[in-house]
Chain A
């Protein structure tokens, strides 16, 4: 009975997250696209929790909520048609993309049926969070610290890149090194 409920919830999340992921590229407003993407992530977060990786799943949702908001703001700022008044269909190399997407799906989806994966379920899923904590600050301390430093440098880099004052003067001027030629007519 319990397994049946778990299975039902899993398929709900699974179908939901795949359908919403597909809808991301099939909607007329970037805003809706962002909401669909978040729904897809929330579904995956749910599946992660079902698999026992509660911490990862919840952190995924926590992180993605902020990220989607930033994404929505960036889209309204820079992208045209945020309200979805016009149909949105902005693609290139569409056929290649479809083939690549379908191909990678088929290849990856066939893997578990072709490869004989070992069947070793996690013995104590209820301890998973504590184990992760011990791992983070124990054996994998260096990896964890590296991840932290990477994020910090990404943050600083992002601020520097997005800032109005580039390294060689104001960014609108096309902040080139003084010795280089100014940008040609390819601009904007």
Chain B
């Protein structure tokens, strides 16, 4: 076993960072939306809106459908949020500031990403509703397609560190960031990152053509938790991208944690902007592109970065 924060500290810290991250994400998303829509921006309203809408959802009652799987329905957002927390816990803020640094941090993160599809499937299946189930199936197709390029894109970053620990991976980027070492890695990771948390152009399970997809039957707290968990996952994906591709805490002048936050926000802006600037992708196209284009590209990325290290 390597460094672990004590359980209480880790849970509180990760929880607080997650909530803060989700809030920042909500504000950023709204801000980008307003810029694209060309509406005038009032800072006060912008900052208050996520809190107000959240409070509104807390006060709305839960809804039920005919013969749902109540346990699964309640469990799905919790599972999704928990997975986001596990994924985020792997990201180091500095060499010594990390909630958990298992030797297999990379695999833990990947396992959390893989379990996301179970959370979404559970969420779509349990309300016993046609649109929700359709959303769940779409994510199934989407997830099975992006798993392999995702693993390969991240795997290439573990090569220079010769370790699966995220701290080691970041540490190995002292002189050169991985984004320079393997230029194909970050774009691949970002495409797949949008797909993991089904944002913007790859929002197929909760799409507008399904009137909300897996979330269509949710109201009140269910909806708040689901949206929150989804946003948390995007934060975790951005934070991990900042760690393994953009050199995590490495950077001049500022202290390490500040760099991590800055890089995470920068990646978040890119990920969120894609939601306002790119049209929804058809599932058929995404599956095709994943298997035919992304997997060979990711393989090539691994081979090249491996060859460069020899």
With A and B bound together, what is the CA distance between A113 and B159 in angstroms?
Answer: 44
Q: Is A25 an interface residue (CB 8 A)?
A: no
With A70-B144, A126-B1: A54-B102 Cβ-Cβ less than 8 Å: yes
Q: Is B274 an interface residue (CB 8 A)?
A: no
Q: Which residues of A contact B104 (CB under 8 A)?
A: 54-55, 58, 129
Q: Which residues of A contact B143 (CB under 8 A)?
A: 66, 69
Q: Is A130 an interface residue (CB 8 A)?
A: yes
With A and B bound together, what is the CA distance between A105 and B210 in angstroms?
Answer: 48
**Chain A nearest Cβ from B145, distance in angstroms:** 11
* Interface band, chain B: 20 to 34
With A and B bound together, what is the CA distance between A86 and B117 in angstroms?
Answer: 27
**Chain A nearest Cβ from B160, distance in angstroms:** 15
The closest CB in chain A to the CB of B72 belongs to A35
The closest CB in chain A to the CB of B119 belongs to A65
Cβ-defined contact, B107 with A58, below 8 A = yes
The SS class assigned to the B binding surface is: helix
Interface residues of B in 96-154 (CB under 8 A from A): 102-104, 107-108, 110-111, 114-115, 117-118, 121-122, 125, 128, 137, 140, 143-144, 147
Q: Is A59 an interface residue (CB 8 A)?
A: yes
Interface residues of A in 123-160 (CB under 8 A from B): 125-126, 128-130
Q: Which residues of B contact A45 (CB under 8 A)?
A: 111
With A and B bound together, what is the CA distance between A62 and B107 in angstroms?
Answer: 8
Summed over the interface, the residue pairs from A and B with CB atoms below 8 Å come to a total of: 65
Cβ-defined contact, A66 with B144, below 8 A = yes
Cβ-defined contact, B118 with A59, below 8 A = no
Cβ-defined contact, B103 with A126, below 8 A = yes
With A and B bound together, what is the CA distance between A106 and B122 in angstroms?
Answer: 35
With A and B bound together, what is the CA distance between A69 and B143 in angstroms?
Answer: 10
Q: Is B164 an interface residue (CB 8 A)?
A: yes
List the 8 closest A-B pairs by CB distance, nearest first: A65-B114, A58-B107, A62-B111, A129-B103, A61-B111, A54-B104, A62-B114, A65-B115
Spell out B's residues near A (CB within 8 Å).
1-2, 67, 69, 72, 102-104, 107-108, 110-111, 114-115, 117-118, 121-122, 125, 128, 137, 140, 143-144, 147, 164
Other A-B pairs beyond A59-B107, A73-B140, 20, CB < 8 Å:
A32-B72, A35-B72, A54-B102, A55-B164, A58-B107, A58-B110, A61-B114, A62-B111, A62-B114, A65-B114, A66-B147, A68-B118, A69-B140, A72-B125, A73-B137, A83-B128, A85-B67, A126-B1, A126-B2, A129-B164
- The contact sample of 7 A-B pairs, CB cut-off 8 A, is A29-B69, A38-B118, A55-B107, A58-B108, A61-B111, A65-B115, A83-B128
